[in-house]
Amino acid sequence: GAGVSQSPSNKVTEKGKDVELRCDPISGHTALYWYRQSLGQGLEFLIYFQGNSAPDKSGLPSDRFSAERTGGSVSTLTIQRTQQEDSAVYLCASSLVGGESYEQYFGPGTRLTVT
């Protein structure tokens, strides 16, 4: 079956511009996660959605970052006024339910480069 997909696969943007990154989770998965993989910080959690509950935004590094999940499916991560330190690979993962018994399936990531 289809896995987690992300688009675009690569994004180059100028400093100060806004960007939107998209994640399509596996159908039927109620939990969705965003992570960031960067040279300086490694792999770090950003935000977590579970069903219709309020998202856990505890990992977002600044108020320039936001995310939404429409209809319990597709999610968009938005970075406003991008900075060079935002350059990273942004990974999305989904699982059937948010819990340690449920495997997270990762997408291929979006490589963001801020020039």
Partner 1 sequence: GNSVTQMEGPVTLSEEAFLTINCTYTATGYPSLFWYVQYPGEGLQLLLKATKADDKGSNKGFEATYRKETTSFHLEKGSVQVSDSAVYFCALSKGGGNKLTFGTGTQLKVEL
Applying CB under 8 A, which residues contact partner 1? 3-4, 31, 33, 35, 42-45, 48, 50, 56, 58-59, 91, 93, 95, 98-109
Nearer residue to partner 1 within complex by CB, 25 or 109: 109
Shortest Å distance, C-beta 37 to partner 1: 9
ω into 108 cis (within 30 of 0): no
Which residues partner with 56 through β-bridges?
Answer: 48
The single-letter DSSP state of residue 98 is: S
Shortest Å distance, C-beta 43 to partner 1: 4
Shortest Å distance, C-beta 16 to partner 1: 30
Maximum CA pair distance of the chain?
41
> Is residue 47 within 8 Å of 56, Cβ to Cβ?
yes
Q: What distance in Å separates the CA atoms of residue 27 and residue 44, rounded to the nearest whole number?
A: 25
Hey, how many other C-beta atoms are within 10 angstroms of the C-beta on 25?
27
Shortest Å distance, C-beta 17 to partner 1: 26
Nearer residue to partner 1 within complex by CB, 20 or 44: 44
Nearer residue to partner 1 within complex by CB, 12 or 43: 43
